[in-house]
Structure 1
Amino acid sequence: MPAPTPAGRSAVRGVILDFYGTLVRLVEPLPPSHRSLFLRRGLAEAADRWGDQWAVGPREGEEHAAHSVSQQTYHDWELDRLRRRALSCGVPASEAGPLAVELDRAMKDLRLAPFGDVPAALAGLRARGLTVAVCSNWYWDLEGALADVGLAGLVDVVVTSARAGARKPHPLIYRTVLERCGLRPEQALFVGDMWEPDVAGPLALGMRAVHLWRPDRAVVGTAPPLPDGAARIPSLAALSALL
């Protein structure tokens, strides 16, 4: 059972974790760069205009519920967004659709592996009788990604931005995962490596939050000061001590 909690605070009944950067990391072989896909088609100038390949999806905090009514509707929107951006970068109309398909495939062809501390940490949470959820700004099929890295059996609830209709830190995605878990905000602890989506957003909705600041993190810079209701840990192995 969960450990006792201070007077006036609800006991934690569920732990909600981010996916990429928190549970898993990218490993080789890496997906092809977007630039390489442009250059293969002789589109060097458009490649220069395209820029950062990781900044082509919905923005953080964006609501897109109208496009999340089904997997096909969402995928059509993903492709159309890439196609329209390609056109704006000077890709000829005859090339934009096929290029969008290639870009979409490359963005999802990720080789992932769990951090070493993850399986034991998740198993420990479930052994305490806690609901374990994953809530991520991710594509439609996060269940498949969890299965691929051997974590599916350690997670009770999975919520992605693609299905929820909004990206963290939009309140809709947090409300969706809380509802799926059967939890009130004060009964949930959110854990993740990104400040706004995984700490500030959950705190604003009334959850507690843990900032995962791994020594080998991909996030650069200095960790922000911790507000009330938040803690910071160097690995998921340290999470049990907070409970």
Structure 2
Amino acid sequence: MRVSVLPRALALAACLACSLPSQAGLFDDDEARKAILDLRTRLDETRSQNVAAQRQLTEQIQTLQRSLLDLNNQNEQLKAELARLRGQLETMQRDLSDVQRRQKDMTQVVDERMKRLEPQQVTVDGKDITVEPDEKRAYEEAIAVLRSGDFEKAAGALQTFLRRWPQSGYTDSARYWLGNAQYGLRAYKDALATFRQFLAAAPDHLRAPEALLALANCQVELKDTKGARRSLDELVKQYPKSEAAVAARERLAVLR
């Protein structure tokens, strides 16, 4: 009994010893395949993740490009708007400059008109007077006509002046020149009356000696020799140092 059992035990042990290496190799192949499958799975996942990331990156880039394009369009619009505003500003500046220039011109015109309307200080026959612009112009125009030799027109202008401005500072001088215009027209009686009126109103006037001499000349023309001598005597007496007094003395020597 013991002899038969031992051989079989030995044979079983030998079989087991021979089968152990092949079983170990089988286990190694399964693990490798499993590792490869795991690796492939991870690679596929990584690939999918990369594709998704690339797609997302592409979308972000496209979004950024659209944003940049929008910003560029907005920038161009802003440039155009800025150019338009700059043009409007330049136009407004030109308009403002034109308005300021016109306003300045209008101000000058108004000032000039106001000056023409404001009373003015003038000197006539050594006397300072204040006159209105129209008053001054009318007097100067009448004197200019007288100097041109048109005694009739000058007499009319001076008479009109005296009626319009009876209290003018020009009145005495206007009356004196009216007498001269009337004398030039040979209206000796009118001239005589005008010179007498002048002397009665302004005996201290600068032209009083000349007026008295002219009055005596009117009397001579009217054949009033006696009256002429009285006027000349009065001239020499009242204004002895005047040039008219020199002429009066000469005239008296002739009349006597």
Pick the TM interval, shorter chain.
under 0.3
**Bigger share in helix:** 2
- Structure number with greater CO (CA < 8 Å, separation at least 6) is 1
**Bigger share in strand:** 1
Bigger radius of gyration: 2
Length-normalised TM-score, structure 1 = 0.25
Length-normalised TM-score, structure 2 = 0.24
